[in-house]
Structure formats: C-alpha cells, structure tokens
C-alpha cells in the first residue's frame, strides 16, 4: 500500500510540475502574441493613417480666381474659402479602412470631409506632422494633422483619425483562436503527460513490488523482468538483478558453509563421544586409557585447527586492522620459512629453494607465512617418498616484472577436474589420504591471496606433481 501511494505521488508530482510549466509557457505565449500583435497592429494603423493624410495633402489647392468654364469642366470639388476657392481633387480620400480624413478649421470644426468623432476631435489641438493619441471610453484614437498653411490656406488643417478598435477587430480573431486553442492543447498535454508518467513509472512499480516480495518472502531467486529495453530503468533493474545474483550466491555459500562447518565438527565430536563411552563402559587397562586419550587429543587438535582456521577466515573478511599491510622483504621471509620447513623430516622429501634478492611487497607477514606454510605442508603431505619440493621467488619479465611465488612438487598431482574444487572450503580430493588435513588449507591460501590482491593458479599432472603459482600484482 505504502509503495503504491508513493508511486502515485511521484506520478502526481511529475504531472503537477509539468502542468505548471506548461501553463506558464502558454500564459507567456498568449501574452507575447497579444503584445506583439498589438504593437504590429498599432504601427500598421498609424502608418496607414499617415499615408492617407499625406496623400490627401497634395489633393488640396487654393485658387484666388477660377473661371466658370473650369468649374463646369472639372470633376474636382471647388469650395469657396475667403476670397478664393479651395480645390479638393477627386483623389482626396475621406474614408478608407476605418480611417477618416477631412479639412478642418483651426478651432477643430470640420470644413469638408469626414469626421468620425466630432466631440473628441474638437478637443484635440492640431499638431503638424505628429501622430497624437487620445483616449475615450477605453479606446485609443490616433490623430494625424498637416497644416495647410503651405498651400496658402492659413487657418485650415488636414486631419486624419482612426480608432484602435479598427485594428483590434482583426487582432482579436487571432487572439480568440489562441485563447481557445492553447488551453485545449494544454489540457491534452496534461492528460497525455499524466498517462505517460504512469507508463514511465510502471517499471519502478515493478521493481518496488519485486523488492517487497523478496523482503517479505525471503525468496532470493526472484528477479525483475521489464522486457526488452536499455533505458535507465532497465539498467537499474539489470543492476538490481545482478546484485540479487551475488546476494543469492553469497547467501547460498554462507548456508553451505555453516552446514559444512557443523558437518565437519560432528565427526571429531562423535569420535570423542564414542571413545569416552567405550572407555567408561567398564574398567580398562592402562594402555586402553592411553590409546583413548590419544585419540581424543588427536580429535581435539583437529577441531582446534579447524576452529582456528575459521576464526582466521572471519578476521580476513573483517579487513586490514587485524592484519595490517606493511612494506616487507618477501625474499627474506620466504627463505626463513623454507629454512624452518626443511627441518621437517617427512617421507624423506627434500625441500630446496631459490629466491631472487630484494623483492619487497606490501603485505602482512603473518599471513604470507601462513600461506607458504600451507602450500609446503600440502606438498609434503601429497608428495611421494624421497621426492622433492622446489620453492621459487622471482620477478617475471614476461609478466611485466610481477612477483611470482612458486611451490612445486613431484607428488601425486591433481586431476584437471579437481583444479577448481580444491580451493573450496572443506573440499578434499580423497579424505582417506589427507591424514590430519581439514580441507581448509587451500581456501585459506586463496583468501590470503585475495587479501593481498594476488592471484593463485595451478598447473598439475596426476602422478607427476603439482605447481602452485602466486602472482602479486604490485
């Protein structure tokens, strides 16, 4: 429930933000359209007004005298003014596209032509060659005057006037269209956005549900299936699935490990119990007691080593504060371990070594000793009578001067199919041959390698011997 509410709220949030931005953009667009068309409209109307008045200017002339014949012949209008005549050419336009023009007395009264708003125009003083704006009832009027003094008509003015409403009529149709179309588009976009957001969030819901199922049911095998795709959500699901793979593996390994531990400990415990029961059953002679105690001591040794190894594993997992890494002379260390291990007189096996001088690495002395001891102990344990063990430490030119530690023997060898398994915890190829082995030695070596950022590899021939290589990448 919580998850689905959360999902819906994200969907709502996305839609809300998206709608707000969209509304802002449409409002801004509408305002811009309105402003621009109004400015364009005003300029167009004013230009048309000026053009018309200027055209008319040349169509007005004053004559002091004029013959009757001229008066009869001509289509032009002749009006008596003072001692002469004003000729109004027939090209004089009095009304066009809402613009009115006329000749006015200087007191604002119309002499001839068309006056669209006598009350207003009478109040506006004349101004030569200037567009004036006058407002009445919320409507702007544009007025343009030319003095006719230049045409010997002192006291007369040419005036043109137009109201803004004229231009607004054309503009408002564009505005009306935008006012209807834009909100419709915005509503479509918001609904579309809401549906789209829901679709986008569906994979997240899927991820949430799977995570919840895993959390509640502890079923680590569940995976998210978003179908084909490679967007961020598919990548997230992929990463989640990879993480679950690793988690499931380590969980299984952990399960396997604890069951192996209890299984491995059960054997020595059973032996100890059986031995105790047998010895306590009745009175025994001294040899029997000693034999029983020796068996118990052997099992105790075995268990102690196992517990010690397990402790070491968990310490290794905890990190560098328990086994600090320090600069050390690996050559000297390998040599001293070999000197000590060569003292063991096992099956007449000869241990020799060759160490390149002055090889230094960053590592933990105690862990490196443990690693080498384990490898040499195995080489003794699985070596043939009067065989040999070679330990080598060198910088390998072919491997970019990396440090290689090699432990080679001519013992029983390892079958290729066992190559990987021998590094698993508690794995023993043939437990009857391992004697005191716990099956933890090589996995410990591998863990120490991992701790040092080193690699371990094996080359072996059954019946001929084995060679373990540890490559330090430093």
Binding site for ligand ADP (CB under 6 A): 378-379, 382, 409, 411-414, 422, 427-430, 434, 437-443, 466
Enumerate long-range contacts of 236-241, CB under 8 Å, 24 or more apart: 236/207, 237/203, 237/206, 237/207, 240/207, 240/210, 240/211
Residue number, 37 or 438, with CB nearest to ligand ADP: 438
CA distance linking residue 388 with residue 128, whole number of Å: 123
Q: Nearest distance from residue 349's CB to ligand ADP, in Å?
A: 11
Helix (H, G, I), strand (E, B) or coil at 140: strand
Residue number, 214 or 448, with CB nearest to ligand ADP: 448
Strands (E), 137-202: 139-147, 156-163
Q: Nearest distance from residue 435's CB to ligand ADP, in Å?
A: 9
Residue number, 103 or 412, with CB nearest to ligand ADP: 412
Q: Nearest distance from residue 243's CB to ligand ADP, in Å?
A: 30
Of 56, 68, 47, the closest CA to residue 153 belongs to: 56
Pairing of strands 99-105, 110-113: antiparallel
Q: Nearest distance from residue 444's CB to ligand ADP, in Å?
A: 7
Q: Nearest distance from residue 339's CB to ligand ADP, in Å?
A: 20
Residue number, 7 or 424, with CB nearest to ligand ADP: 424
Task: Give CA torsion, residues 254, 257, 258, 261, to 10 deg.
Answer: -160
Say if residues 466 and 459 touch (Cβ distance below 8 Å).
Answer: yes
Of 133, 132, 131, 100, the closest CA to residue 118 belongs to: 100
Beta-carbon contacts of 205 under 8 Å, excluding residues fewer than 6 positions away, are 3, 4, 7
CA distance linking residue 302 with residue 290, whole number of Å: 18
Residue number, 126 or 380, with CB nearest to ligand ADP: 380
Q: Nearest distance from residue 375's CB to ligand ADP, in Å?
A: 7
Task: Count other Cβ atoms within 10 Å, centred on residue 81.
Answer: 16
Residue number, 394 or 427, with CB nearest to ligand ADP: 427
Q: Nearest distance from residue 374's CB to ligand ADP, in Å?
A: 6
CA distance linking residue 386 with residue 394, whole number of Å: 26
Residue number, 26 or 419, with CB nearest to ligand ADP: 419
Residue number, 146 or 425, with CB nearest to ligand ADP: 425
Q: Nearest distance from residue 430's CB to ligand ADP, in Å?
A: 6
């Amino acid at each position: 429930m919580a998850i689905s509410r959360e999902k819906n709220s994200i969907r709502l949030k996305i839609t809300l933000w998206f709608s707000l931005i969209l509304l802002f953009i449409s409002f801004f667009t509408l305002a811009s359209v309105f402003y621009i068309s109004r400015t364009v409209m005003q300029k167009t109307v004013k230009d048309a007004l000026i053009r018309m008045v200027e055209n008319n200017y040349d169509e007005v002339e004053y004559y002091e005298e004029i013959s009757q014949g001229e008066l009869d012949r001509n289509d032009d209008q002749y009006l008596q003014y003072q001692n002469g005549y004003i000729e109004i050419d027939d090209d004089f336009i009095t009304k066009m596209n809402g613009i009115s023009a006329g000749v006015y007395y200087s007191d604002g009264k119309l002499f001839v032509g068309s006056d669209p708003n006598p009350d207003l125009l009478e109040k506006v003083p004349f101004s030569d060659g200037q567009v004036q704006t006058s407002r009445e009832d919320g409507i702007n009027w544009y007025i343009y005057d030319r003095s006719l003094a230049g045409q010997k008509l002192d006291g007369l003015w040419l005036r043109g006037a137009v109201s803004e409403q004229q231009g607004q009529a054309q503009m408002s149709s564009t505005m009306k269209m935008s006012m209807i179309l834009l909100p419709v588009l915005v509503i479509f976009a918001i609904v579309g956005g809401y549906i789209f957001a829901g679709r986008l969030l569906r994979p997240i819901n899927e991820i949430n549900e799977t995570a919840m199922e895993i959390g509640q049911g502890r079923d680590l095998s569940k995976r998210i299936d978003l179908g084909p795709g490679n967007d961020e959500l598919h990548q997230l699901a992929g990463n989640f699935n990879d993480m679950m793979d690793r988690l499931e593996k380590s969980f299984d390994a952990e399960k396997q490990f604890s069951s192996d531990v209890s299984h491995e400990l059960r054997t020595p415990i059973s032996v100890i119990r059986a031995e105790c029961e047998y010895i306590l059953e009745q009175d025994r002679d001294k040899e029997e007691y000693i034999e029983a105690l020796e068996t118990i001591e052997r099992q105790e040794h075995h268990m102690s080593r196992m517990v010690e190894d397990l402790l070491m594993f968990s310490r290794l997992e905890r990190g560098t504060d328990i086994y600090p890494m320090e600069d050390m002379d690996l050559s000297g260390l390998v040599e001293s371990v070999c000197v000590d291990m060569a003292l063991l007189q096992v099956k007449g096996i000869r241990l020799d070594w060759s160490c390149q001088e002055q090889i230094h690495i960053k590592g933990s002395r105690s862990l490196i000793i443990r690693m080498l001891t384990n490898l040499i102990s195995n080489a003794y344990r699985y070596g043939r009578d009067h065989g040999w063990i070679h330990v080598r430490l060198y910088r390998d030119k072919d491997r970019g001067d990396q440090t290689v530690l090699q432990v080679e023997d001519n013992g029983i060898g390892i079958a290729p199919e066992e190559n990987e398994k021998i590094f698993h915890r508690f794995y023993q190829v043939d437990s009857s041959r391992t004697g005191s082995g716990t099956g933890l030695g090589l996995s410990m070596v591998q863990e120490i390698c991992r701790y040092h950022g080193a690699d371990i590899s094996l080359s072996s021939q059954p019946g001929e011997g084995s060679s373990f290589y540890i490559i330090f990448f430093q």
